[in-house]
Structure 1
Amino acid sequence: MDEVDASLDEANLRRFAELVEEYSQNIQIVAITHRRLTMEKADIMYGVTLEEPGLSKVISVKLSEWE
């Protein structure tokens, strides 16, 4: 899902996040988002960073291990 939550207001974003959490119990969901509430429901987050100009690096974080 690519930015499907971008236009949602806070109430509908909460409903969407709860729905994603429920569905993720049975299926794998990949969401591309900038919304914090959606990211908070994730088990693993991936990101891309530029360590050097022209050199991208993919990073991942398991949220259960990050405290």
Structure 2
Amino acid sequence: VKTIPFVILDEVEAALDEANVKRFGDYLNRFDKDSQFIVVTHRKGTMSAADSIYGVTMQESGVSKIVSVKLKDLERM
């Protein structure tokens, strides 16, 4: 079986409680060696399972800024 190269998920865990959000993040980590996951989320549990986080912020009206954080680099510090 050949796995797909990437998966896009848009707030699929929004209705889950915190314990199941943690399980969802663990589940994604089981498959991240073979596929890349792009997950749109607002849940802290899902973000904590990620290797990298990209966010969009708007500090002034009409001007968006992209912010990125590599969590693996922060663990080393």
After the TM superposition, list the runs of 4 or more consecutive aligned residues in structure 1 that deviate by more than 4 angstroms.
none
Match of residue 25 from structure 2:
17
- Higher normalized strand content (fraction of residues): 2
Maintained 8 Å contact 2:57/2:65: yes
Report the AA paired with residue 11 of structure 1: A
Aligned to 1:4: 12
The partner residue of 1:28 within 32, 36, 51 is 36
> Does the Cα contact within 8 Å between 2:10 and 2:39 map onto a contact in 1?
yes
- Greater mean deviation of Cα atoms: 51-60 or 27-36: 51-60
TM-score normalized with structure 2 length? 0.77
Structure 1: state its 5+ residue gaps. Answer: none
TM-score, normalised to structure 1, is: 0.86
Instruction: Give the root-mean-square deviation of aligned CA atoms.
Output: 1.3
Alpha-carbon displacement from aligned partner over 1:6-25 (angstroms, at most 9, x marks no partner):
00123322221111111112
- Count residues with an aligned counterpart: 67
What amino acid does structure 2 have at the position aligned with 1:4? V
User: In the aligned structure 1, how far is the partner of 2:11 from the partner of 2:59?
Assistant: 25
